[in-house]
Amino acid sequence: MFRRLPDANEATVEVTIDGRSARVRPGDTVAAALLSAGVLASRVADVSGAPRAPYCMMGVCFECLVTVDGAGNRQGCLVPVSPGMRIDTQHGKREAGR
Amino acid sequence: MSLLAHEADVAVVGGGLVGAAIAWGLARTGARVVVLDEGDVAFRASRGNFALVWVQSKGLGMPEYAAWTKRSSDLWGGFARELWEQTGLDVAFGRPGGFHLCLSEREVENRAAMLARLHNQPAMVRYDYEILDAARVRAMLPRVGPEVAGASYCPLDGHVNSLRLLRALHVGMQQRGAAYLADHVVETIEPRDGGFRVTTRHGEVRAGKVVLAAGNGNARLGPMVGLDVPVRPQRGQIIVTEKVAPFLDYPVVTIRQTDEGGVMIGDSVEEAGWDTRVGAGVVSAMAQRAVRMFPLLGKLNVVRTWAALRVMTPDGFPIYQQSLSSPGAFVATCHSGVTLAANHALVLAPLIANGEFPADEFDVFSPRRFDVPATA
């Protein structure tokens, strides 16, 4: 669905998305990395159960909430990826302590 | 509103939780009620409070206040049910009992000694409370941290969604015919023709009785009808986190999870005049203590912090009084507008409709108690 523009910098970093290894671009946000890796639904809404995807990509809409390195409800569009980062899509309510 | 005079049996000055509870209760007795409220910029403790319905530890120095508080706690379940049946709004009242957590043995001892003093007062109302050791606290609150050394627990304590309570009272009083006039700051109150003439920027109201329920505004309004109401603002600060799955089955006096999932943290007390700014120092101290009590709070995102102003009397107890020089003018003011809402609606309002606060029960709440000269 999403395709990258040609870019001279072909460097990648390795992260895990829902436990699977994925190579993403340094400088990407978590939300951009998910979309480019083909993971369109970053969470399942805790009230309606509907799948939700990153939308505004600028910190406003809170649709891209994901769990980053074990911390839930992080705004994926505001967190840059880093090598070894653990990214997990969210399903249902956040639990305190996770 | 037009400049024509509104006529009412009772004009209630103040549309916060105290005024709205009394207005709802008055309208329930069949009285024609008009509520004169400030605008959106009012200090409005009713929108900034912590929403506990709390009994334990109240009334040291005035056991009648402990009894008054317990009475409201006992009435609260029926009050919430009636609001729901009338308006369809669930104020999410729950009374599972509440905790005061202690973070050292010394805190536990101090807590136990304070509650013993409270309950040893002559004429103290009887109700159950317990001092729990760490193991028993952990059995009831499995998520507490290792630093929690004990707690006091009282089965009468509870909490509510106080924003929805304010809304339910407003919806309910208007369903029963009360007129609600926002942005009607009261400028003058004059006894006139056996009743009162109340003026605002937008016109005047004539009413047989007037009830001052304007929180800290009562200090200004009281003298207009011969009432001395020595209240002052006292700042409290609150933190609320993002919503999370339910994990806390009981309210703690400084931490509670709302029916909607957010965790509220707050217990600060500051003399700061009318300043409603949030201070980073106080907020971080509250957050640190909360994380020591429940370490799992440490990872949660904070959504908002705010400060609001309590309505505080010199001794911390409520003031209820009918004016001696202008009978028909009443004042009702307290810092526990949530806890006491059931009393204000179901006990106080009918007494106001009836025109009298019975002396045997209410003289203790008169502001005359502040006139006693201090001994040298």
Q: Is A71 on the interface with B (CB under 8 A)?
A: yes
Verify whether the Cβ–Cβ distance A94 to B244 is below 8 Å.
Answer: yes
Radius of gyration of chain B (CA): 21
CA gap B351, B361 in Å, rounded: 12
B348 within 8 A of B320, measured Cβ to Cβ: yes
Residues B16 and B115 in one domain: no
* Torsion, CA B351, CA B354, CA B359, CA B364, rounded to 10: 30
Verify whether the Cβ–Cβ distance A96 to B299 is below 8 Å.
Answer: yes
Verify whether the Cβ–Cβ distance B263 to A73 is below 8 Å.
Answer: no
Q: Is the residue at B260 inside a domain?
A: yes
**Nearest-by-Cβ selection for A97 from B243, B299, B301:** B299
Residues B175 and B214 in one domain: yes
| Shortest Cα distance, chain A CAs vs residue B101, angstroms | 19
Residues B284 and B347 in one domain: no
Locate B60 and state its tokens: 């040291």
Q: Is the residue at B93 inside a domain?
A: no
Q: Which residues pair with B232 in a beta bridge?
A: B312
CA gap B119, B123 in Å, rounded: 9
Nearest CA in chain A to B299: A97
Verify whether the Cβ–Cβ distance A97 to B243 is below 8 Å.
Answer: no
Residues B110 and B179 in one domain: no
Locate B46 and state its tokens: 């009713």
CA gap B333, B344 in Å, rounded: 10
Identity of residue A90? Q
Residues B202 and B179 in one domain: yes
- SS3 state of residue A54: coil
Q: Is A94 on the interface with B (CB under 8 A)?
A: yes
Q: Which residues of B touch A95 (CB under 8 A)?
A: 244-245, 247
Q: Is the residue at B77 inside a domain?
A: no
Residues B187 and B298 in one domain: no
Residues B319 and B225 in one domain: yes
pLDDT tens per residue, range A81-92:
999 999 999 998
ipTM: 0.75
Q: Is the residue at B207 inside a domain?
A: yes
* Residue keyed to tokens 């056996």: B194
Residues B303 and B168 in one domain: no
Q: Is the residue at B267 inside a domain?
A: yes
Verify whether the Cβ–Cβ distance A98 to B299 is below 8 Å.
Answer: yes
Verify whether the Cβ–Cβ distance A96 to B301 is below 8 Å.
Answer: no
CATH at residue B270:
3.30.9.10
Residues B206 and B245 in one domain: no
The end-to-end CA distance of chain B, in Å, is 54
Residues B210 and B349 in one domain: yes
**Domain boundary residue among B155, B172, B198?**
B155
- Give the rounded distance of the alpha carbon of B320 from its chain centre: 14
Q: Is A5 on the interface with B (CB under 8 A)?
A: no
pLDDT value of residue B2: 47
CA gap B313, B297 in Å, rounded: 34
| Shortest Cα distance, chain A CAs vs residue B259, angstroms | 14
CA of B250: how far to CAs of B141, B147, B253, B289, B311, in Å? 8, 19, 10, 18, 26
Residues B194 and B321 in one domain: yes
CA gap B263, B255 in Å, rounded: 7
CATH at residue B179:
3.50.50.60
CA of B62: how far to CAs of B72, B184, B318, in Å? 16, 35, 10
Q: Is B303 on the interface with A (CB under 8 A)?
A: no
Number of cross-chain residue pairs from A and B with Cβ atoms under 8 Å apart:
33
Q: Is the residue at B190 inside a domain?
A: yes
pLDDT value of residue A10: 77
**Domain boundary residue among B132, B155, B178?**
B155
- In which band, very low, low, confident or very high, does the pLDDT at A8 lie, cut at 50, 70 and 90? low
pLDDT tens per residue, range A17-65:
999 999 999 999 999 999 999 999 999 998 899 999 999 999 999 999 9
**Domain boundary residue among B312, B330, B346?**
B312
Nearest CA in chain A to B301: A73
Q: Is A72 on the interface with B (CB under 8 A)?
A: yes
Identity of residue B180? Y
pLDDT value of residue B132: 98
CA gap A33, A39 in Å, rounded: 9
CA gap B92, A43 in Å, rounded: 29
CA of B126: how far to CAs of B63, B67, B154, B211, B376, in Å? 10, 8, 12, 32, 35
- What value does the mean pLDDT take over residues A72-79? 95
CA atoms A57, A62, A67, A71: torsion sign = positive
Query: A13-17 and A86-88 as β-strands: parallel, antiparallel, unpaired?
Result: parallel
CA gap B121, B116 in Å, rounded: 9
CA gap B97, B75 in Å, rounded: 15
**Nearest-by-Cβ selection for A95 from B245, B294, B301:** B245
Q: How many domains does chain B have?
A: 3
Residues B264 and B207 in one domain: no
Q: Which residues of chain B have pLDDT under 50?
A: 1-3, 376
pLDDT value of residue A11: 86
Q: Is A49 on the interface with B (CB under 8 A)?
A: no
| Shortest Cα distance, chain B CAs vs residue A9, angstroms | 35
Fold for domain A13-88? Ubiquitin-like (UB roll) (3.10.20)
Q: Is the residue at B74 inside a domain?
A: no
CA gap A3, A94 in Å, rounded: 31
Q: Which residues of B touch A72 (CB under 8 A)?
A: 299
Q: Is A96 on the interface with B (CB under 8 A)?
A: yes
pLDDT value of residue A46: 84
Could you tell me the residue range of the domain that residue B262 belongs to? 232-312
Q: Is A93 on the interface with B (CB under 8 A)?
A: yes
Q: Is the residue at B27 inside a domain?
A: yes
